[in-house]
């Protein structure tokens, strides 16, 4: 069966392309052309039966991902299904199942079966957990262990998979020679780095990359090229190791496209505000315009409990500068596993960042949304304002708690509402003239 990219190159407009075109208010031919040349990806595994396809890439609205999944401390998958629904209700375009608890396969299968949005995975998490159970240490994993999990997750319906293929011996040399404050903070990156150092061997994900692509092509899995050496603190941003890995990701992007496999490229991480635009532009150049998927970027290290805000600040600039897909960060980042409220707060904060970028990028739908809100505010149409809010639940709760039911203005201005006063005098002026 052909992939979306292979079909697009044959001139075929698939049903998924038509759905994305309708969502984005663009032509189906625009989507087909973007998928064909790699600047748009539609992560849509042939075995994910109830997905509503979404597009990620140039010329489209900025998309938002929510991370969910069990941990060794919280292995029960049921709360993660509730988080899945909370993320979808809050407007997430995708979720990633990052489970590391018991029954990883069962958790993933349940999430994919319940999800109408894209589902991503990180196969190295399951490989690591299973290898430790079987052999006692991640450094004992084999190529077969890795490929068995990748194939299983693809067959289960994972729409995109984060694979840390870009770390090779040259990248590790750059990491060791330059030194870092925080070394490696990516879990998948740390597993691969530890294995390579212990075994003094090349990264099997890099060495056998073509075989991974064959699996992705079979199920039309989009490969999300993971940034295993993303900076985990501001001091490590844009160093040699990060850039050397990015150079590898550019090469791997082209090799995936040669096989008709769709690609997204992942990016940092913790980056000071003044370096974000350059990071995005460098990625786009080195990776040939492939969709860019960023975590944050977080613009400071000192805001635990508020990292959904530090992430949103960086996310807007990233998306204005070329990023196409923002992975949420919740208030629980760096502190613990997010709960339902953290998931909701993270999605909304990241959606605000994405929408702000859509406005700056001139997206017509985004501008129409804001214009509707402005017009509703002008006439003090509270039902319309609340319905138009990016988070209607919180907006309605504030409106009810802070005002009397019959208040025309809000309690902040009360009788001195600027909109109401000027509206009255403008109306009087129009009557006289």
Q: Is 45 within any annotated ligand binding site?
A: no
Token output for 32: 């087909």
The Cα-based distances of 345 to 125, 226, 280, 391, 398 in angstroms read 25, 25, 25, 10, 15
Q: Is 334 within any annotated ligand binding site?
A: yes
Token output for 332: 């629980």
Q: Is 125 within any annotated ligand binding site?
A: yes
Q: Is 308 within any annotated ligand binding site?
A: no
Q: Is 267 within any annotated ligand binding site?
A: no
DSSP state of 316: H
Q: Is 198 within any annotated ligand binding site?
A: no
Bridge partners of 118? 94
Residues 6+ apart with CB under 8 A from 362: none
- With beta carbons less than 8 A apart as the criterion, state whether 350 and 328 touch: yes
Q: Which residues of 360-399 are buried (b: 16+ CB within 10 A; e: fewer)?
A: eeebeebeeeeeebeebeeebebeebbebbbbeeebbeeb
Residues 6+ apart with CB under 8 A from 141: 127, 128, 131, 135, 195
Rounded-to-integer distance, Cα 420 and Cα 193, Å: 62
- With beta carbons less than 8 A apart as the criterion, state whether 299 and 313 touch: yes
Q: How many CA atoms lie within 13 A of 202 on its CB side?
A: 9
Token output for 97: 């199942």
Q: Is 96 within any annotated ligand binding site?
A: yes
Token output for 401: 């708690």
Q: Is 413 within any annotated ligand binding site?
A: yes
Q: Is 269 within any annotated ligand binding site?
A: no
**Strand 292-295, strand 263-267: pairing:** parallel
Residues 6+ apart with CB under 8 A from 276: 297, 299, 314, 317, 318, 321
Q: Is 240 within any annotated ligand binding site?
A: no
Q: Where are the beta strands (DSSP E) in 129-262?
A: 160-163, 222-225
Nearest to 89 by CA among 366, 347, 423: 347
Token output for 420: 């109401």
Rounded-to-integer distance, Cα 347 and Cα 332, Å: 13
Nearest to 107 by CA among 89, 125, 132: 125
Q: Is 229 within any annotated ligand binding site?
A: yes
Token output for 189: 């990156």
Residue 111's SS3 state is helix
Q: Is 287 within any annotated ligand binding site?
A: no
Q: Is 410 within any annotated ligand binding site?
A: yes
Q: Which residues are annotated as a binding site for substrate?
A: 67, 96, 125, 164, 186-188, 227-230, 266, 293
Binding-site residues sit at 67, 96, 125, 164, 186-188, 227-230, 266, 270, 293, 334, 410, 413, 417
Known binding residues for [4Fe-4S] cluster are: 410, 413, 417
Annotated binding-site ranges for Zn(2+): 270, 334
């Amino acid at each position: 069966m052909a992939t979306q990219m292979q079909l697009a190159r044959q001139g075929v407009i698939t049903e998924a392309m038509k759905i994305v075109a309708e969502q984005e208010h663009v032509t189906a031919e625009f989507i087909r052309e973007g998928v064909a040349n790699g600047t748009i990806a539609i992560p849509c595994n042939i075995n994910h039966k109830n997905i509503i396809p979404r597009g990620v890439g140039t010329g489209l609205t900025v998309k938002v991902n929510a991370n969910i999944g069990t941990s060794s401390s919280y292995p029960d998958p049921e709360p993660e299904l509730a988080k899945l629904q909370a993320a979808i209700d809050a407007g997430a375009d995708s979720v990633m199942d990052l489970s590391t608890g018991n029954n990883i396969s069962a958790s993933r299968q349940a999430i994919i079966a319940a999800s109408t949005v894209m589902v991503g995975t990180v196969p190295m998490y399951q490989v690591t957990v299973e290898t430790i159970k079987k052999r006692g240490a991640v450094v004992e994993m084999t190529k077969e262990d890795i490929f068995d999990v990748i194939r299983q997750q693809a067959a289960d319906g994972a729409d995109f998979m984060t694979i840390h293929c870009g770390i090779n011996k040259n990248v590790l040399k750059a990491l060791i020679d330059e030194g870092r404050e925080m070394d490696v903070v990516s879990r998948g990156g740390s597993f691969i780095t530890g294995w390579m150092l212990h075994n003094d061997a090349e990264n099997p994900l890099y060495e056998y990359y073509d075989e991974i692509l064959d699996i992705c092509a079979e199920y039309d899995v989009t490969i999300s090229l993971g940034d295993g050496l993303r900076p985990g603190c501001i001091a490590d941003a844009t160093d040699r190791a990060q850039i050397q890995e990015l150079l590898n990701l550019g090469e791997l992007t082209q090799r995936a496209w040669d096989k008709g496999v769709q690609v997204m490229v992942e990016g940092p991480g913790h980056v000071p505000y003044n370096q974000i635009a350059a990071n995005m532009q460098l990625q786009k150049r080195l990776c040939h315009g492939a969709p860019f998927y960023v975590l944050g970027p977080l613009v400071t290290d000192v805001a635990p409990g508020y990292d959904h805000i530090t992430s949103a600040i960086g996310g807007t600039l990233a998306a204005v500068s070329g990023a196409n897909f923002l992975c949420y960060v919740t208030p629980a980042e760096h502190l613990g596993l997010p709960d339902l409220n953290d998931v909701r707060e993270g999605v909304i904060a990241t959606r605000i960042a994405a929408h702000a970028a859509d406005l700056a990028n001139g997206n017509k739908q985004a501008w129409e949304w804001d214009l509707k809100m402005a017009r509703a505010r002008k006439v003090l149409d509270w039902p319309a304002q609340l319905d138009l809010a990016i988070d209607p639940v919180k907006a309605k709760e504030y409106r009810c708690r802070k005002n009397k039911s019959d208040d025309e203005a809000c309690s902040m201005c009360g009788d001195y509402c600027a909109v109401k006063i000027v509206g009255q005098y403008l109306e009087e002026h129009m009557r006289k003239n």
